[in-house]
Amino acid sequence: MTIFQKIIDGEIPCSRLYEDDRCLAFKDIQPQAPFHALVIPKKPVEMIAKADEADEALCGHLLRVAAKVAKDAGYEAFRLVMNNGEAAGQSVMHLHVHVLAGRDMTWPPG
């Protein structure tokens, strides 16, 4: 069981920003920007590459919620990041979208 599943199950507290029947958004405890939220599906999907056709609507929902969370926090400009696998920086093997805002973002990232 991942730390994200424990957050979903209420075993670990979080600073909730949004929740519905499909996902949960909360503040990252190690922020990389003045605003840093995570949007996670309640369905356990390990990473985006392991999402299947049945997860297509869920993945789109995560992106729409990410935009809503940024807008609700007062940000028009923001960056969404989704890592796939350890070599790409994914440290929790539960699909998640990082929402970063509140500072200038450099390119290329990482």
Number of domains in the chain: 1
In a domain, 110, yes or no: no
Give residue-wise pLDDT tens across range 2-58. Answer: 999 999 999 999 999 999 999 999 999 999 999 999 999 999 999 999 999 999 999
In a domain, 19, yes or no: yes
In a domain, 38, yes or no: yes
Q: Write out the two tokens for 48.
A: 């985006």
CATH number at residue 80: 3.30.428.10
Residue range of the domain that includes 22: 3-101
Active site residues: 96
Q: Write out the two tokens for 1.
A: 């069981």
- The structure's pTM equals 0.96
Q: What span, in angstroms and rounded, lies between the C-alpha atoms of 103 and 72?
A: 17
Q: Write out the two tokens for 54.
A: 């049945």
In a domain, 46, yes or no: yes
In a domain, 107, yes or no: no
Cα maximum dimension of the chain: 37
Q: Give me the amino acid identity at 83.
A: N
The CA-based angle 63-65-66, given to 5 degrees, is 60
